[in-house]
């Protein structure tokens, strides 16, 4: 099931405009788009490991910029959360903001929990924009540089990048189902 999608993303990651597509996905995911940029970042690093750090930086910058948009969209109220059908998640996010403050943005930026819920919540709750940006840079940067670094260093164990692409392709179905299982568990834990 996942091999076709993986092959398509790897092909797209080799497109001459792939960095532009990556920036757009990274920006949009932080405020309204449901697909995380890791889906493009990993194959792009696989396609050319020499660009790993530049691509991680681009993903981080675009994601934080999208997060700032989400922050300002949060000022428009709860109707955005209603569009996502995430009222329960918003209530939980608001509780976490009250309990943990800036730390919740830092953690949300790093984890697979939908970051956009926290960007919008931060705006709704009037969190300091400077603190929000600072925490977002650290959380999102850590996540994307970790993904890029993992692919970069994993590639050193293979004769060439194509061997790494093939190895990941061999296990992509298992990895895909594992990610879905983790997301389902997170969903039930956060409900």
Predicted TM-score (pTM) above 0.95:
no
More confident site: 6 or 73: 73
Q: 71: pLDDT confidence band, cut at 50, 70 and 90?
A: very high
The answer, yes or no, to whether residue 123 has pLDDT greater than 60, is yes
Note the pLDDT of residue 181.
72
Rg (CA), the chain: 17
Return the HEC string of the chain. Answer: CHHHHHHHHHHHHCCCCHHHHHHHHHHHHCCCCCCCCHHHHHHHHHHCHHHHHHHHHHHHHHHHHHHHHHHHHHCCCCHHHHHHCCHHHHHHHHHHHHHHCHHHHHHHHHCCCCHHHHHHHHHHCCCCHHHHHHHHHHHHHHHHHHHHHHHHHHHHHCCCHHHHHHHHHHHHHHHHHHHHHHHHHHHHHHC
More confident site: 102 or 188: 102
Between CA 146 and CA 56 the distance in angstroms is 9
Please state the domain count of the chain: 1
Quote the mean pLDDT of the chain: 80
Note the pLDDT of residue 75.
78
Task: Write b or e for each residue in 79-96: b if 16 or more Cβ atoms lie within 10 A of its Cβ, otherwise e.
Answer: ebbeeeebeebbebbeeb
Between CA 19 and CA 55 the distance in angstroms is 7
- What residue has token string 């389902």? 184
Mind listing the pLDDT tens digit for each residue in 175-188?
A: 666 766 776 676 67
Between CA 22 and CA 7 the distance in angstroms is 16
| Environment class of 187 (CB within 10 Å of its CB; exposed 0-12, middle 13-18, buried 19+) | exposed
Note the pLDDT of residue 157.
73
List the domain range (segments joined by +) for residue 93: 2-190
């Amino acid at each position: 099931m996942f091999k076709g999608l993986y092959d398509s993303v790897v092909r797209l990651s080799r497109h001459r405009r792939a960095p532009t597509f990556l920036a757009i996905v990274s920006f949009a995911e932080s405020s309204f788009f449901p697909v995380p940029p890791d889906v493009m970042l990993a194959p792009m690093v696989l396609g050319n490991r020499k660009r790993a750090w530049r691509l991680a930086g681009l993903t981080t910058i675009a994601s934080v910029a999208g997060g700032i948009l989400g922050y300002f969209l949060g000022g428009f109220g709860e109707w955005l959360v209603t569009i996502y059908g995430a009222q329960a998640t918003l209530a939980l996010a608001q509780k976490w903001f009250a309990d943990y403050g800036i730390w919740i943005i830092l953690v949300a930026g790093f984890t697979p929990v939908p970051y956009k819920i926290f960007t919008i919540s931060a705006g709704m709750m009037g969190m300091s924009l400077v603190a929000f940006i600072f925490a977002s840079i650290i959380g999102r940067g850590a996540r994307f540089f970790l993904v890029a670094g993992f692919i970069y260093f994993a590639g050193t164990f293979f004769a060439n990048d194509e061997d790494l692409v093939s190895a990941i392709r061999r296990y992509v179905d298992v990895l895909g189902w594992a990610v879905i299982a983790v997301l389902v568990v997170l969903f039930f834990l956060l409900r």
